[in-house]
Amino acid sequence: MLPYHLAFRVSFVVLAMATALPAWAQAPEVDRSEVEAKKKAQEEKEKAKAAAVVQESESQRESREAQEKKEHNAKDAVKRFAEASEAARKGQTARALSLLEAAAALDPFRHEFPLNVATVAEALKQPETEFKALSAASILLKRVLGQVGDSPKKADYEAQLKKVETRMAELRAEGKIATGTIRLFADPKSCEIFLDGVFVGQGEGVIESLTGTRKAETRCVGFYDYEQFVNVRVGDPTSASIKPKAVPYFGKLIIKVDQSDGVTTFLDDVPVEQRLADKPTQDGKISGKGTKAEPYQLAARRWIVRFAKDGYDRWHRRVEIHRDETVMVDARLEALADTNDDAPAGAATTTPQNAPKK
């Protein structure tokens, strides 16, 4: 094995040893009162978590679930890593590589996983797998270096990054692989970007990849997971933009108008009758009757609400419809004979019926 791997192999070997603890390596006895105290603290923590879940908004719920999924995958990744360590200890190198790749896919944000993938791939003489893993490690180590500040570990990360870049240059020089650079952009910028499962960045990022057709993906709360294929070429860097589709969200609108006989209601200057459908859609279809019992259901965004009636001044307002919330518009139309140059175009209140809980 090349010397640059020595630093990488440490965590791999340590974990392999940890999977085969002798029988005498038992945890020391713990005072029973301490156990009860920890148990009670955990119960209180679970109660607080349950109470927070009840009060959270839909967007907060989605963010929480996305984070919980990451944490669950991270735990599974550690299990795969332990299994890979055991397989390597038994000389099952190919199985170890497969398990390490599974760990890296489950948790693409830890640099230790691709570093160990590269180590085993080199042993199996798989230069393409090795280069892909090194490229992933390079991105993650640079990310870590941007976060550690003046930590004592900074020098270690810098040394690992230098070794990774040196090995990548060696693989290019050997001529067994063809690589190119691609810059990827995501809209919105909150999206995480991946190329063939390797984390590239959030909002945008650059990666050196094997050439050919590659799969770019985005993941972000409020948008569908999205993938598209991009072409990586040798030579000048290429770029690609990825725009995932937003998950459709809807809210409710209640309309109250005095002098309602003969009033025509418009949404974005289109009569509501022309927008009615069985189900609301993102492109402007609505459902319901606009009453308290049956509110209009419509896309969560800003709308212009307008009322028109012969002999009355025109009334309009911009109304913000939020996801899973109900807004009531209470309008009072004024007869033209009752208005003067200083009078408002109509009085109204716009009232959220269920404001988001903090």
Which domain CATH number covers 199? 2.60.40.1120
Q: Give pLDDT, residue 30.
A: 44
> Which of 247, 265, 290 lies at the terminal end of a domain, its last residue?
247
Q: CATH no. for residue 172?
A: 1.25.40
Q: Within a domain: residue 30?
A: no
What Å distances lie between residue 340 and 316, 333, 346, CA to CA? Answer: 18, 14, 12
> Which of 156, 176, 196 lies at the terminal end of a domain, its last residue?
176
Q: In what order do the strands lie in the sheet with 270-271?
A: 270-271, 264-267, 302-308, 315-320
Nearest Cα residue to 256 out of 335, 347, 344: 347
Structural domain total, the chain: 3
Q: Give pLDDT, residue 59.
A: 76
Query: Residue 243 sits in which domain range?
Result: 178-247
> Which of 148, 176, 204 lies at the terminal end of a domain, its last residue?
176
pLDDT tens digit at each of 358 positions of the chain: 333 343 344 344 334 333 332 332 233 344 567 777 777 887 777 776 665 555 677 778 888 999 999 999 999 999 999 999 999 999 999 999 999 999 999 999 999 999 999 999 999 999 999 999 999 999 999 999 999 988 999 999 999 999 999 999 999 999 989 999 999 999 999 999 999 999 999 999 999 999 999 999 999 988 999 999 999 999 888 999 999 998 889 999 999 998 778 899 999 999 999 999 999 998 899 999 999 999 999 999 999 999 999 999 889 999 999 988 999 999 999 888 754 555 444 444 566 666 544 4
Instruction: Report d(CA 20, CA 105) in Å as an integer.
Output: 25
Q: Which residues contact 36 (CB under 8 A, 6 or more apart)?
A: none
Q: Give pLDDT, residue 41.
A: 80
Q: Give pLDDT, residue 10.
A: 37
Q: Within a domain: residue 25?
A: no
Q: Within a domain: residue 24?
A: no
**Number of Cβ atoms within 10 Å of the Cβ of 109:** 15
Domain co-membership, 46 together with 165: yes
Q: Within a domain: residue 187?
A: yes
Q: Give pLDDT, residue 39.
A: 79
Domain co-membership, 47 together with 145: yes
Q: Give pLDDT, residue 349.
A: 57
Domain co-membership, 276 together with 241: no
